[in-house]
Amino acid sequence: MALQNDMTQPILDRDHAMILLREMLRIRRFEEKCAELYSAAKIRGFLHLYIGEEAVAVGAMQALEKDDAIVATYREHGHALIRGVSARSIMAEMYGKQEGCSHGRGGSMHLFDAATRFYGGNAIVGGGRPVAVGLALADKLQGRKRVTACFFGEGAVAEGEFHESMNLAALWKLPVLFCCENNLYAMGTALKRSESEIDLCLKASSYEIPAWPIDGMDVLACEAAALQACLAVRSGGGPCFLEFRTYRFRAHSMFDPQLYREKQEVEEWKKRDSIAALQKRLHERELLTEAELKQLEDEIAAEIDDAVAFAESGTWEPIEQLTRFVYSEPSRT
């Protein structure tokens, strides 16, 4: 199905474009710092960077309201930041500190923040989709007009939950916006090596779910598609499926020699960097000066420095608290 041009198409007005640019840059700079901190052994465990894919989360999440829910993957730092989880609590979580959004128990892959309806962060490939369908089912049964946006990689389409979730969401007309981040690889496995049918929209369509491919390197295209899809989902039409065609510039995680792709391929995709493309568009229209860009970068750098200082000065959870949150606590009423 083709996307229609309508009033939901975003207009490149300066203020809005600056919001998009700021958010994409926040993700990029935050994660560049994370990579540095990982090398310095300040951040341990797994670390999956979203660098290169920023336009997807930033564009798609423009369509969401405060009350909507988000379910993401282990590559979710950007989604959490854009949702309004503070850089401080994300960084403290990465450090494993008590002040982190998951009390330092989840780390990079398990960011969670009920206050912003950010329901993870999930290390299980595809594991977020049943959660999203459950959240949407609750909304539908309780008569709330909220959307649950569920982000997952194209590798997760090979999992059984894909079919279970798509089927029930379509059957019960649940308000889920399925956002597939197709970056071509699941760890080292190219889509065409693991799937007999690589047209992901066709797969979604087979469940009677409207599905569109989108240029995931163009933040405005991502936003336009999400606005249109969200409108349909919110009006009770059931789920929509958006396939964002994107690319990760860095390794799958911090341990990945990347033998499965050519350096040349990475370089070709880097030429389409969504951040550079938006900056260029703004410069060409004389909507952004070098001084303004520097100011933006300085503000972001200050936010990240502050987050690192916060995480550094955070506390380790006392050993006697270790079993807390394993089971729900009895209510104190």
Residues that bind Mg ion (CB under 5 A): 153-155, 183, 186
Residue 200's contacts (CB-CB under 8 Å, 6 or more residues apart) are 154, 157, 180, 182, 211, 213, 241, 243
Choose which of 176, 186, 221, 222 interacts with ligand TPP (CB under 6 A). 186
Count CB atoms within 10 A of the CB of residue 82. Answer: 22
Nearest approach in angstroms of CB 246 to Mg ion is 9
Q: Taking the chain, what is the end-to-end CA distance rounded to the nearest angstrom? A: 53
Restricting to residues 68-97, name those near ligand TPP by CB under 6 A: 73, 75
d(CA 211, CA 201): 5
Q: Supply the minimum distance, in Å, between the C-beta of residue 40 and ligand TPP.
A: 24
The DSSP code for 50 is: -
Contacting residues for 195 by C-beta, under 8 A, at least 6 apart: 157, 158
Shortest distance in whole angstroms from residue 51 CB to ligand TPP: 12
Cβ 64 to ligand TPP, closest distance in Å?
20
**Euclidean distance between CA atoms 199 and 235, whole angstroms:** 27
The number of CA neighbours under 13 Å toward the Cβ of 219 is 31
Q: Is 155 in the site for ligand TPP (CB under 6 A)?
A: yes
Residue with tokens 């750098």: 301
CA pair distance 113, 115, nearest whole angstrom: 5
User: Is-contact 175 146, C-beta < 8 A?
Assistant: yes
104 binds, among ligand TPP, Mg ion, none (CB under 5 to 8 A by kind): none
Q: List the one residue out of 227, 175, 176 whose CA is nearest residue 4.
A: 227
Q: Determine which residue in the list 24, 91, 92, 125 makes contact with ligand TPP, applying CB under 6 A.
A: 125
Nearest-angstrom CA–CA distance, 100 and 89: 4
* Structure-token match 């391929």, residue found: 265
Q: With respect to Mg ion, which residue has the nearer C-beta, 48 or 146?
A: 48
Which pair of structure tokens corresponds to residue 259?
A: 């033998």
Q: Which does 75 bind (CB under 5 to 8 A by kind): ligand TPP, Mg ion, none?
A: ligand TPP
Residue sitting closest to ligand TPP (CB): 153
With CB cut-offs between 5 and 8 Å by kind, which of ligand TPP, Mg ion, none does residue 62 bind? Answer: none
Note the residue count of the chain. 333
**Closest to Mg ion by CB, 96 or 153:** 153
Question: Interaction with ligand TPP in 228-267: which residues (CB under 6 A)?
Answer: 252
Residue 154 binding ligand TPP, by CB under 6 A: yes
Residue type, 227: L
Instruction: Tell me which of 30, 95, 178, 185 binds ligand TPP, using CB under 6 A.
Output: 185
Tell me if 12 contacts ligand TPP by CB under 6 A: no
Q: DSSP code of 318?
A: P
Amino acid at 173: K
Residue 154 or 218: the one with the smaller Cβ distance to Mg ion is 154
**49 is in the binding site of which of Mg ion, ligand TPP, none (Cβ under 5 to 8 A by kind)?**
none
57 makes contact, choosing from Mg ion, ligand TPP, none, with CB < 5 to 8 Å by partner type, with none
Residue nearest to Mg ion (CB): 153
Distance (Å, rounded) from C-alpha 279 to C-alpha 285?
Answer: 10
Stretch that binds ligand TPP, among 76-84, 128-136, 151-159, 163-171 (CB under 6 A): 151-159
Q: How far is the CB of 274 from Mg ion (least distance, A)?
A: 17
Contact of residue 123 among ligand TPP, Mg ion, none (CB under 5-8 Å per partner type): ligand TPP
**Among ligand TPP, Mg ion, none, residue 269 binds (CB under 5-8 Å by kind):** none
Q: Which residues bind ligand TPP (CB under 6 A)?
A: 73, 75, 123-125, 153-156, 181, 183, 185-187, 252
